[in-house]
Structure formats: C-alpha cells, structure tokens
Amino acid sequence: MGIKEIWNYIVEHKIGALAIYGALISTISLGFNFYLNNKDEAKIKVNYKKDREFFGDPQREGKIFTIITVTNHGRRPVKIEQVFYRYFSGMSFILVDSFNTNKQRILTEENPTVSFFSEQSEIDFNQVWYVGAYDAKNIEYKLFIASWPRRIWETMKRPFNKNFKN
C-alpha cells in the first residue's frame, strides 16, 4: 500500500464523516426552525363561564352574565374583532361588547386576555352550537358548547333544514 492509496482512503472517510456531520447539523437546525416558527404563532383559546353575577356595579347588579374569555397563548399579537354565539340554525348572536372601542382587544404577551360579557337571559344555550371569535385576519376560533352527538345530529339535519342560514 502506497502513500497515495493511504491518502485516498483517509480523504474518502473524512469526506463521508463530514457529509454525515453536515446532514445531522442541517436536520437539527431544520427541526429548531420548525420549533421557533410554531412558537411564534398566535394560539387563541376561547372559554366561557356561565352563571356569573356582578357586585358593586349598580347597572349590572342582580343580573346573571356569561363571560366569554379570549386568550392568546402564543407570542404573535392578535386583534380580536368580534365575539359571538353561533346557533344550530346558522344565525349568530354577536356580543354588543364586541363593538366597544374603548376595550383593549389586541392580545399580546403582556396583555394576553380579553373578556366579553353577555346577559344570560338573552341566550338560549340549548340552541347554541359554539362560541366563537374572529380576529383581524377574519380567522374564526371556536369553543363548542353542544355535546358531540348533538353536533353530529344537527349537522346531519342541516341539508333538510330550509331555515338554515350559513
């Protein structure tokens, strides 16, 4: 075995090891970029609480409210445009509190939550399909209130319902 053959053997194995190292590093960096991209999104959660009562506010005292809370668990700021109840008939009940321009509705890391109130006597929860929120990009976020068998049943009935409005 000559020096030239030994040199060729060393060069071939180093290049192979270097190729494996490069593929490994690029795979790790690709996975890290996917992780950062996923972390940078807005992650909106809609929640609701029934049977809430205010104290100390003469306008609202004695009334029962439902509180809808929209929370951003992500890092990207999101502006919530409106919050609504969607009925099985296809009609929506937009909360008047959604049109309050004084409310800070831009959800950031410092201010991740905004709450909307509705009088519970005005809502028929037996007919509510889900609670939803729209952001500035017109993306809809949902929290289903009805049980899944009821949702499936109502969805199957929908083509036969002449009063359904989409």
- Residue 61 is given by DSSP the state B
Q: CB of 68 within 8 A of CB of 95?
A: yes
- Classify residue 166: in a domain, yes or no: no
Reported as half-sphere exposure (CB side, CA atoms, 13 A), residue 93 has a value of 20
- Name the pLDDT band for 29 (thresholds 50, 70, 90): very high
- Classify residue 165: in a domain, yes or no: no
- For 97, the 3-state DSSP assignment is helix
- CATH code of the domain covering residue 66: 2.60.40
Closest CA to 72 of 40, 44, 103, 37: 44
**pTM attached to this predicted model:** 0.70
Helix (H) or strand (E) holding 39: helix 3-39
The predicted-structure confidence for 33-74, as pLDDT tens digits, reads as follows 998 887 778 889 999 998 888 887 777 778 888 889 999 988
Same domain, 131 and 51: yes
Tell me which residue range forms the domain holding 87: 44-160
- Classify residue 7: in a domain, yes or no: yes
